[in-house]
Structure 1
């Protein structure tokens, strides 16, 4: 059963509150062996799943880490076969303490260091993001004993921590919905998660929250939503957008690790169109640090057809990465997407924007030439990667007819009497704009001054001197048409007439 609309709206509202806004650092898929090339475009971490044989596990780990490093992707590496003695199979698999665990694990570390996948003392340069000692320990004979972590589990985690080459590399572990059976064991690692594949969205969200009651304050949480249909799963995958919203709203969530991309017995994300589209978009946001939120905008709800108008949109960089000019990041037109309604469809980020800072995009739009109502809406976009963050609230802009009008001067040229310095010209104009005005400038458009205002009218200019005065009919910020009025001397005019044949 799916959660009610009201329940989900309340959960999402809580997750989306600005005060709680966080960032999911990692996105990848559980047991991603063999699939890295398919999803590397939207993952920044992969989970390397290994079997119970350490020789086979070593080969798998080295091969998957080679791909991860080539793709610039981090990896969570399962190492249980190096740390435990494993017996049985399937649901009857049992784990116990391995006497030579330190030797076996140490040999693996040597291989990782030699290959460059583990850089001692420098986790940032290491391909290995975390070691994964065991999956669902409470289901593999590693539940707590006498109110303390199981000795074999504690020993395995101790082996990892004791080797100086793993310093700074987190230890991760995911448990089932029965995580309470290993409540003390789960507190030993750095990153911890719990799955609950049979639950609906709200049920899994409850599991995520319940797990935190048992976590140490310093621990980070991994969300493992169900992401497949049939076979080993039921037919109700968790809603990707809901899972992501919860993760972003909780600062303790470090990773979204859907189960799963592909599986021999189950249709995972790769074969489920809607899940694939959703998780691909979410993964691209996480991989590229594409997180942003709407702050404000200034848009005139009434514009004139074809008249350039300045607008502004302010967005906040809520990611941990810096936005830079010329990095193909900025605003993109929406409603519909990539429209050219306003004369442009992209506005680049104008300056460097540090994490948690806001940026104001101030740009000029050209309204459509046909009057009517048009949607004005924008969203952040990383060109060729993904749309992300909040869309601006849609503004329905009323575009009114294009300004038209005419202006004339009489007489023109204006004759200055002999011995005089000025003459009078009468300016007559008419337009379709009630806020029309006449601005005077020189012939090059310099030194603007207001001459008259009104939709239409006639006004004398009794100060025309030698040279040219330009009378510009328009509205604030836009010129409709103009007329040049020349002042000439009467003597010059008479000489001009005498020279005529």
Structure 2
């Protein structure tokens, strides 16, 4: 029995465009306030964007922004830059700074001079987006007025979009779950996110709202072309609830929603003074978000297409397996790196004689790869699980697993076969003789095949696990009888006939008279 899956059919039905997958992973406010410390060295390995948090007036934020963006570039990452102090006057409500265009323009000039921003080219820049203000409806007073965005909020977006160097850079915002007063304002932005620290991952009697549900309602209020930012709670203490959002559920939300551009947990490091913890302070969150970050940072997105393998195997024997996957990311998987196919259920098991299959060649975005490898069935009979998944060693397992196949492993076939008589005697004047074949096997699928002595011209002689059957056509050329199971030979016997060369003695003639009596 073989499992055979229609590879091309699966590929055509379920292939996903690269644009459907989140592009960025990073932590909100990835530097301290006051801005004397960056957290990038602690999490740059599994992030590809840092959110540079800045405050209001009273501090020259440009050196901090340049430091953080420069550090991000040194790691090969990008930065989302908060520019509240450049665009607004403080207070509630925030006001439009009359010098906003000049303030922002001066910052942009510094970013360009440092090589961190390429005018008109976000992809070539270390700056991924600008972030004018956080939660404009909360303690900022930037709520809609008369069904239109607050003028100061509209001015901030316009300043960024009017600058010739940043006109096509994304402008981002995150609102709270109480976003209703700022619906028109949040529609101004290219990227819009929502945090909801009063919701849960899995609703209960005490927490009836899920983040997935409230985020879906939020997304429905946006313009269709807006990209979204997931901001799961990853901190407790202070004024936050005591239950963080489940990282795995949030990641599933991200990869299932083609509008999500960024997964941005709040936050990496807590504030000991307020009793707030973050991902850094919670081992379970740290171990969950690191592989998620690796997957997004390195484009570790794969699609399982199909496989071919034997559904039943003989203990200790070798078998071929082929499994096909598609690279649905925007990045190339390089052969000879840490990307390979790994055994699952459980992870890294050696049940089938190996736990890694190397990537056979580079696989570009949208390309397919077939892992063609040999497994060895376990030495003891029984039913065993086999499952495989793509893995980047030291980073994360990624993409869909193969089906969890159940493979029947049976003992090696054994048995014996004999002939009575061997050789058999061909009578004088005849051409064939008769022998009786007897056999037994440990396999219900046992068969006996008859062929020439060299194995040619095989024909089925009998099909039974045990039996006895006469062969009446044995001649001097000989016949080979092979006991088989599943098409494989167990044992064989050569049977031949021996020709009688002397005629039989004739009896004396029958006589009943004295004349016939010999003297």
TM-score interval, smaller chain: 0.7 to 0.9
- Structure number, greater radius of gyration: 2
Partner of 2:240: 233
- Correspondence 1:85 to 2:89: yes
Specify the alignment match of 1:215 in structure 2. Answer: 222
Give distance in 2, aligned partners of 1:463 and 1:315. Answer: 57
> Following TM superposition, by how much is the alpha carbon of 1:296 offset from its aligned partner in structure 2, in angstroms?
3.5
* Aligned partner (choices 43, 58, 62) of residue 47 of structure 2: 43
> CA distance change for structure 1 residues 97 and 295 in 2, over 3 Å: closer, same or farther?
same
In the TM superposition, residue 140 of structure 1 has moved relative to its aligned partner by 0.4
Could you say if the C-alpha distance between residues 41 and 463 of structure 1 is closer, same or farther in structure 2, counting changes exceeding 3 Å?
farther
Which residue matches 1:113?
A: 112
Partner residue of 1:71? 75
Superposition RMSD on alpha carbons, in Å? 4.0
When residues 323 and 471 of structure 1 are mapped into structure 2, their CA distance, relative to the original with a 3 A threshold, is farther
**Deviations 1:51-72, CA, capped at 9 Å, x for gaps:** 2247531121111112211111
Q: Are the counterparts in 2 of residues 437 and 450 from structure 1 also a CA contact under 8 Å?
A: no
Query: How far did 1:49 drift?
Result: 0.3
Identify if the C-alpha distance between structure 1 residues 54 and 121 changes in structure 2 by more than 3 Å, giving closer, same or farther: farther
Tell me the secondary structure at the aligned position of residue 183 of structure 2. Answer: helix
Residue by residue over 1:294-318, the C-alpha shift from the partner in whole angstroms, topping out at 9 and shown as x without a partner, is 3434443321101112233343433
Work out the CA distance in 1 between the residues paired with 2:122 and 2:455: 63
Report which stretch shifted further, 64-73 or 358-367. Answer: 358-367
- Tell me if the contact between 1:79 and 1:131 (Cα under 8 Å) persists in the aligned partners: yes
Equivalence map 1:180-259=2 (5 Å): 180-201=180-201, 202-259=209-266
| Residues 248-295 of structure 1, C-alpha deviations (whole Å, 9 max, x = no match) | 221111111111111214111111122222212211211121222434
Secondary structure of the residue aligned to 2:94 is strand
Query: Where does 1:390-469 land on structure 2 (aligned, <5 Å)?
Result: 390-404=400-414, 432-433=442-443
Per the alignment, residue 315 of structure 2 pairs with: 305
- Identify the structure with the greater helix proportion: 1
SS at match of 1:134: coil
Q: 2 CA distance for matches of 1:101 and 1:401?
A: 79
Q: Does 1:341 align with 2:351?
A: yes
Decide whether the 8 Å contact of 2:16 with 2:328 is kept in 1: no
**Alignment check: 8 A CA contact 1:123 1:169 kept:** yes
Residue in 2 that maps onto 1:498: none
Task: Name 1:60's counterpart in structure 2.
Answer: 64
- Structure 2 gap segments, 5+ residues each: 1-12, 32-37, 202-208, 420-435, 496-519
1:30 aligned partner: 28
> Quick one: distance in 1 between partners of 2:64 and 2:132?
16
Q: Is the 8 A contact 2:30 2:268 kept in 1?
A: yes
Shift of 1:78: 0.4
Name the residue aligned to 1:264.
271
Q: TM-score, normalised by structure 2?
A: 0.75
Match of 1:158 in 2: 158
- CA drift of 1:480 comes to 6.0
Alignment: residue pair count: 456
- Pair 317,408 (structure 1): closer, same or farther in 2 beyond 3 Å: farther
1:287 aligns with 2:297: yes
Question: Which stretch shows the higher mean deviation, 94-103 or 324-333?
Answer: 324-333
Measured against aligned partners, the alpha-carbon deviations of 1:215-270 in whole angstroms (never above 9, x if no partner) come to 22221111111111112311021111222212222111111111111121411111
CA contact (8 A) 1:435 1:453 kept: no
Please name the residue that 2:341 is paired with. 331
Moved more, 282-291 or 349-358: 349-358
Alignment partners' CA distance in 2, 1:50 and 1:448: 86
In the alignment, the residues of structure 2 paired with residue 149 and residue 437 of structure 1 have an alpha-carbon distance, to the nearest angstrom, of 83
Aligned 8 A contact 1:20 1:249 in 2? no
